[in-house]
Amino acid sequence: MKIIMRNESNPEKEIAILLTVHNRKDKTLSCLRALKVQKLPEHCKIDVFMTDDGCTDGTPEAVASEFPDVNIIKGDGNLFWNRGMYAAWTEAEKNDFDYYLWLNDDTFLLDMCINNLLRESALYNDNAIIIGATINSAGDRITYSGWRNNKIIDSLTNNREANCFNGNIVLIPQNVFAQLGKNDPYFRHALGDFDYGLRATELGIKNIVCPDICGICDEHATIPKWM
């Protein structure tokens, strides 16, 4: 998927969208549709890198049909979330993007999400990780966000600096990537996102929650069997 807004007098900002999927075809397609209608700032281009971790429900075929520009990386069904994200990032980094955006396929971006993330990143000279908080479908509770002192940051008007974060919506500028690299494939499914935030904190890189709600994602009632 490519969304391009060009102005030759200004350099483009190129963003790699990273996600990994397994047998959630309807949610994956809804996620990509929400991404497609983003109200991007000028001079902004996005490319999507999606790891198909052994889908058997027709997800990659449906994505290729509706979104032919998506770069699909094949997994064998044993990568799970963290290693699937690592595989997508490994492919994306070959193109030296200005930003990398982690996105869960059960998370639906609000239309100004990327615009707001980039605006917040600019306030930190693209030297901080910017986290997008999500709310539930009812719109009455923050579900995923940054974390500080073992508590989720559920107020976007007070201190928004986190120690670590959920990986649902996370913008990582090239400046940060140059220092931290990719997520650690030591972790199979979970904890890779928390580890990345903690590594950033140890290096003095700030993890900042965007002051605007960025997406919708309901909490998981139970952990799916494949996880």
Q: What is the pLDDT of residues 132-187, one digit of tens each?
A: 999 999 999 999 999 999 999 999 998 999 999 999 999 999 999 999 998 877 77
Of 50 and 219, which is predicted with more confidence? 50
- Does the pTM exceed 0.85? yes
Per-residue pLDDT, 6:
37
Structure tokens at 110: 């609000």
Per-residue pLDDT, 3:
44
Average pLDDT, the chain: 91
Is residue 21 within 8 A of residue 51, CB to CB? The reply is yes
Burial 157-179 (b: 16+ CB within 10 A, else e): eeebebbbbbbbbbbbbebbbee
Per-residue pLDDT, 1:
55
Per-residue pLDDT, 220:
73
Q: How confident is the model at residue 61 (pLDDT cuts 50, 70, 90)?
A: very high
Per-residue pLDDT, 39:
94
Q: Does the pLDDT value for residue 213 go beyond 90?
A: yes
Q: Does the pLDDT value for residue 215 go beyond 50?
A: yes
Helix (H) or strand (E) holding 194: helix 192-202
Per-residue pLDDT, 8:
41
Q: How confident is the model at residue 189 (pLDDT cuts 50, 70, 90)?
A: confident
The DSSP symbol for 135 reads: E
Residue spans of beta strands (DSSP E) within the chain? 2-4, 13-21, 44-53, 71-75, 99-103, 108-109, 129-131, 134-135, 142-144, 146-148, 151-152, 161-162, 164-165, 169-173, 207-209, 215-216
Q: What is the pLDDT of residues 217-227, one digit of tens each?
A: 999 765 544 44
Q: What is the pLDDT of residues 20-43, one digit of tens each?
A: 999 999 999 999 999 999 999 988
Is residue 60 within 8 A of residue 72, CB to CB? The reply is yes
Per-residue pLDDT, 192:
83
